[in-house]
Amino acid sequence: MSVVLAPLRRNLDAMPSPDPDQPGLLLRDIFGYSERVLVIPPQLVRALQFFDGSSTENDLREWLVRSTNSFDVGPQLQNLVSVLSESGFLEDDVYFGMRDEAHQLFADLPVRQPAFAGGAYPECPEDCRRYFDQFLEEAPELEATAGKLVGIAAPHVSFEGGWECYRDAFTALRQMGPDRTYIILATSHYGEPEKFGVTRKPYMTPYGETTPANDLLDELKALAPDALIEEDYCQVMEHSAEFHVLWLQHLFGANVKVLPILVGACFADSPESNPHLKAMLDALAALAQKHGEKLGWVLSIDMAHMGQRYGDEATFTEGDAAIESNDKLRVGTLEAGDIDQFWTEVRKNDDPSKWCGSAPLYAFYRALPGVKAEMLRYGQWSIDETSVVSFAGMRFTQ
């Protein structure tokens, strides 16, 4: 009986190779279990379809014979299987070992280490402070809010692309001061849908260590234990939380008290239909009701993701009027405080604009009934030659 091929991991990052001298499909591990980067040659890309958990080595062998017009395909088959396995790219014992070891290493660490220092921002404390200070130069004078300021939303796109929206949002947050506990509702790009990833570890950055709000985490766990993933490994590589921790430290000091929560995507027309999700939304509402003005809320959200990088056939660039019109239609429902209409717009046609910040927004509006948004600045950024991301800086009043 032919051996069934182990399935290719579904949580790999796959994209066309950017190197013209080495064309093909580039595979890499976004979770960091493996440091290998593979480029599958064009003639072998279709061979990956056989790594589905049900196809056998004989199925792959027959395809290779047909595609190469040669019976001598054994070495090619074994090389492909062994390279994928040794790289940790198949769901087999090699991968599971890498994964378990990485998770244990994170669990044993006393702090959540910075993942993007020296890349997305400087790793030297003095350089880091100068870097963020330059963003705050010529910050706008914001008009007083009609209601009570309860939080902001800022992008998690690269600082170079979205710095003006970051600046305006965190300028608005400054008035809340350093004595609050800041709950970060961050988009989870890698975590389980309809789950909330948390850690008890302080965040370490070039500024120092945050103060973790484990008292609030205990309250959430008591109310919604099944919705939380404690010591979520996704915290390791999630920029949408790290970027906002940095901003909070820059404004309020290294030891600012924070609770970063990674909010998993939600694809349900009625999120409350999931009892675990409903319990978490109710728990956040109870937290907001109990602690009131002791809390500040920071939402880490981007909006549309359009273009070939995100699976669209068409090309998009910044300044796209149709994207902006759709984004502002949705923001309009947030400005009106109508989260039900917002969710209707998001779920329409399974959200072809691929907003990645919709779940944190929904959770926030359910936690603080009556909250309304004010858009301070809107932006788009061409992340490459074919694709664009949109985002905004907003403040919320109640």
Domains of the chain, each with CATH number or no CATH: 12-105 (no CATH), 112-397 (3.40.830.10)
Reduce the secondary structure of the chain to three states and give it as a string. CCCECCCECCCEEEEECCCCCCCCEEEEECCCCCCCEEEECHHHHHHHHHCCCCCEHHHHHHHHHHHHCCCCCHHHHHHHHHHHHHCCCECCHHHHHHHHHHHHHHHHCCCECCCCECCCECCCHHHHHHHHHHHHCCCCCCCCCCCCEEEEEECCCCHHHHHHHHHHHHHHHHHHCCCCEEEEEEECCCCCCCCEEECCCCEEECCEECEECHHHHHHHHHHCHHHEEECCHHHHCCHHHHHHHHHHHHHHCCCCEEEEEEECCCCCCCHHHCHHHHHHHHHHHHHHHHHHHHEEEEEECCCCEEEHHHCCCCCCCCCCHHHHHHHHHHHHHHHCCCHHHHHHHHHHHHCCCCCCCHHHHHHHHHHCCCCEEEEEEEEEEECCCCEEEEEEEEEEEC
pLDDT tens for the chain, 398 residues: list them: 689 999 999 999 998 898 999 999 999 999 999 999 999 999 999 999 999 999 999 999 999 999 999 999 999 999 999 999 999 999 999 999 999 999 999 999 999 999 999 999 999 999 999 999 999 998 888 888 888 999 999 999 999 999 999 999 999 999 999 999 999 999 999 999 999 999 999 999 999 999 999 999 999 999 999 999 999 999 999 999 999 999 999 999 999 999 999 999 998 899 999 898 999 999 999 999 999 999 999 999 999 999 998 889 999 999 999 999 999 999 999 999 999 999 999 999 999 999 999 999 999 999 999 999 999 999 999 999 999 999 999 999 99
